[in-house]
Amino acid sequence: MQVLIKTLTPLLVIGLALGGCTKEKKEESKEATPVAVSIYRVGKASQSQQLSYSGSIEPDNVAQIGFAVGGVVNNVMVQEGQRVKQGQLLASIDATEYEQALAIAEAGLEQAEDMYNRLNELYKKGSLPAKDFIDIKTKVAQARANKNINAKHISDSRLHAPMAGIISVRAIERGSMAAPGVPAFTMVKNDQVYARFSVPESEVGGLKAGMPGWVYIPTLADTLKGNISIINPQADPVSRTYTVKIRIANNEHRLMPGMLTETTIMTGKEVEELVVPAKSVVRDVEDLSYVYLVGEGKKVVKRRVETGRLTGNGEVVIRKGIKPGDTLVIAGQSGLKDGSEISF
């Protein structure tokens, strides 16, 4: 019995070893099976030049407005976020002091004019020296100017909207003290807005005022058309980019300052760009774009790429990662990984 066990043990070990080798060979054979794919030779194609930029919406105009005279605020007629018309009354201050000053100025003017009328007759008859006549004329002019100044103070005690727009900041309350030149409100004019973006030095030369642009607003999921209206001729000293603005009509007031934009400009020029079938580009869980290149020995190399726009015929522009002459896998990528063997 012991002899039999000793005889079977080596045979069992040999059998297990042979079985393991057979399994490993099968797995190796399975892994070595080439994956059938379709390939594509990368090349450049002539395309209409299309430039894309990220930016934001900014208002047509922002104005900080305040009283020209000081006083205690006795009424505020508007709230933040309220739309107002040009000339609409926004707030007022107590004008009692200015009204009394105007009354005094009117009395002084009346007295000066009466004196002028009486002395004028004497001057015409030659009974009044020229110097005295000039003095009374000066007093009348001063009294009239004093009246006009006080009348303007009363007018300035009522603050009106200089334009149509939206109140974005209200900095005063009833009973607070208003000071001359200190902003009481900030107004935003947005019936017209701008899509503002920065353009690098290498591309700004191809842009001209009047060129059409398409502005996509992700928040609204809408694309609006406008035209380049401003190209700032001075570069930012740090980024060396130029500010460009596209004016957009905003009659429905849907566009608000600060909204993010993606702007596309068609320059009208033909350029050579690297394009590949869109189906050749795959994305990983981190939303990064990759392609599979055919390498030596019919093995693939996973390569990260930077993509541009879609051309409209099932192709995508590649900005970085591959070069003309490279061979891409355009079908069968689902069964691939870096280093996989392929057949085509």
Q: What separation in angstroms does the CA of 137 have from each of 95, 103, 116, 148, 197?
A: 30, 21, 7, 17, 61
Helix (H, G, I), strand (E, B) or coil at 32: coil
This prediction has a pTM of: 0.62
- The span from the CA of 213 to the CA of 245, in Å, is 10
Q: What is the DSSP string of 177-223?
A: EE-TTS-SEEEEEEEEEEEEEEEEHHHHTT--TT-EEEEEETTTTEE
Domains belonging to the chain, first-starting first, are: 35-61+190-344 (2.40.30.170), 67-92+157-183 (2.40.50.100), 95-156 (1.10.287.470)
- The span from the CA of 242 to the CA of 235, in Å, is 5
Q: What is the pLDDT along the chain (344 residues), one digit of tens a residue?
A: 444 444 444 444 444 444 554 445 444 444 558 888 888 888 887 777 788 899 999 998 999 999 999 999 999 999 999 999 999 999 999 999 999 999 999 999 999 999 999 898 888 888 889 898 899 999 999 999 999 999 999 999 999 999 999 999 999 999 999 999 899 999 999 889 999 999 999 889 889 999 999 999 999 999 999 999 999 999 999 999 999 999 999 988 899 999 999 999 988 777 778 888 888 888 887 788 888 888 888 888 888 888 877 776 788 888 888 888 888 888 887 878 888 888 88
- The span from the CA of 83 to the CA of 339, in Å, is 63
Q: How many CA atoms does the CB half-sphere of 1 hold within 13 Å? A: 0
